[in-house]
Structure 1
Amino acid sequence: MGYSFKFHCFFVWIMVLSSTLCYSQDNFVKSRATYYGSPDRLGTPSGACGYGEYGRTVNDANVAGVSYRLYKKGSGCGACYQVRCTNPQLCTDDGVNIVVTDHGEGDKTDFILSPRAYGRLAKSDKADELYAFGVVYVEYKRIPCRYGGYKLQFKVHEHSKYPNYLAIAVLYQAGRSEILAAQIWQADRKEWIFMRRAYGAVFDTNPPSSGSISLRFQVSSSAGVYWVEASNALPNNWEAGVAYESDVQLE
């Protein structure tokens, strides 16, 4: 009887968890959004995810900083959301699809949008009115990221110092995935060593002294939590500021 009760509780827990995940992904959540100042209306290269120029222009600059609970200490970086404002006189039905590139919040907002993304909430002749509001009520939901023609890339952060210090940011993270952890292969010890999450989507470590670099990442997605390996992800003569494309594609 004890075994049956434990199994039943576990089954119920799984059902509740599954229901919660479905709700969080497939139903809209009510919130508020604003936008930040940017003379070119694009994203910012100094966002808290560490994406640099990629964070300024990815997804046609439809990007946003998000609240702490969506930022998730950095694992929320790269997530995609559909955001739409709830004023039918000013806003479109579909809103805008954004990529998380930064952390920021204010006045009970979950999203601080790039000016371009904020303007695309509005109907074609109502953008100026929407900008004048400054803060609007919205609803949002998590959606898969889609990057046609791109596989996962590993950008060597500009702060890296060859050959003694390596920091990487993960780019073009597709699907509903979140990267929870990163490891680097140490051939001399024949084991995977955890990299430190320096901040946002940036992981750093002391790299191996020679040879190409293999990486692997712990990923959370609709398929569960699992490890994805990228063999020879970086060449042995890697350079700071360069993004290297892998054969990996997340879903």
Structure 2
Amino acid sequence: MAPMAPLHILFLSFTFLAALSSAAGDGWLEAHATFYGDMSGGETMQGACGYGNLFDQGYGLATTALSSVLFNGGKTCGACFEIQCFNDTRWCAPGSVTVTATNLCPANWSKPSDNGGWCNPPRNHFDLSMPMFVKITKDYHAGIVPILFRRVTCWKKGGIKFEIKGNPFWMLVLVYNVAGAGDVTAVSVKGSATGWITMSRNWGQNWQTSEKLQGQSLSFSVTASDGRTVWSMDVAPANWQLGQTFEGKQF
């Protein structure tokens, strides 16, 4: 007969598994997670949400790419998720991480969804930055692990940021550092000589308009997926320039 594990180890294992079982019935959903990039997080910069340097923009390495089902054409960009490894005693470490959706994990139709095509529809899948993956696993060699996930409130420092890009005939505004729900569903802009102008989503969290607004101070309204709207009045002065970033109010 094999020797019995020490009682304190059995107790800790039971406590950990019990906590996971309780979480599974507490509004959590099941999925799987992998990682991309290395511990520096360099490969996680940029991405399909339109963000740039994630360190400068306040997201850091606490980020994830989403399978297309979760990504929803970029509408989920900026949303925050709590994630914990689940039901794998070999690889799971206790605890959870909270990450912001900043990229897309594209489908790989050359591989089956249960063997390499982890982000193929209709799978819910998180491709974490490596630093986040190793926080919920015992070793990055786990490769892929089952997880539990749920949407949580985003906590951000400072106000919503508006990075103005484009050209004199077309304005593209990257909206980031959004607290609360995190993901943006509508953006409007108002020049000092115009009414409110509804912007359309170009890609990720980049919003566009062809209205000529140079030489006017700018105000923005941002609506999040929870239905709340925040108005940031006159955040950009009349002499604003392309490439500049301005800070508004916050949820």
| Superposition TM-score, scaled by structure 2 size | 0.74
| In structure 2, distance between residues paired with 1:243 and 1:234 | 9
CA deviation string 1:57-104 (max 9, x = no partner): 744311011122322222211111011111244333322111100111
| In structure 1, distance between residues paired with 2:134 and 2:124 | 17
Partner of 1:8: none
Partner of 1:18: none
**Counterparts in 2 of 1:55-70, with a 5 A limit?**
58-70=58-70
Bigger fraction of residues in helix? 1
Letter in 2 for 1:120: K
Q: 1:244 aligns to what SS in structure 2?
A: strand
Q: Does 1:117 align with 2:146?
A: no
- 1:155 equivalent among 154, 163, 166: 163
| In structure 1, distance between residues paired with 2:220 and 2:171 | 12
For these two proteins, the number of residue pairs brought into alignment is 210
Partner of 1:235: 237
Q: 2:239 aligns to what SS in structure 1?
A: coil
Q: Does 1:72 align with 2:72?
A: yes
Q: Which structure is larger by alpha-carbon Rg, 1 or 2?
A: 2
**Alpha-carbon offset, residue 36 of structure 1:** 1.3
Distance 1:95-1:37 versus aligned 2 partners, 3 A rule: same
Alignment root-mean-square deviation, CA? 2.3
Partner of 1:98: 99
Distance 1:27-1:43 versus aligned 2 partners, 3 A rule: farther
Q: Does 1:141 align with 2:142?
A: no
Q: 1:151 aligns to what SS in structure 2?
A: coil
Distance 1:242-1:44 versus aligned 2 partners, 3 A rule: farther
Letter in 1 for 2:75: S
Q: 1:61 aligns to what SS in structure 2?
A: coil
2:78–2:178 Cα contact (<8 Å) kept: yes
| In structure 1, distance between residues paired with 2:204 and 2:244 | 18
Partner of 1:191: 195
**Counterparts in 2 of 1:190-229, with a 5 A limit?**
190-206=194-210, 207-221=212-226, 225-229=227-231
Distance 1:63-1:93 versus aligned 2 partners, 3 A rule: same
2:215–2:240 Cα contact (<8 Å) kept: no
Distance 1:57-1:173 versus aligned 2 partners, 3 A rule: closer
Letter in 2 for 1:136: V
Distance 1:119-1:150 versus aligned 2 partners, 3 A rule: same
Identity of aligned residues (%): 26
Moved over 4 A (4+): none
Partner of 2:16: none
Letter in 2 for 1:242: Q
Distance 1:82-1:134 versus aligned 2 partners, 3 A rule: same
| In structure 2, distance between residues paired with 1:77 and 1:34 | 19
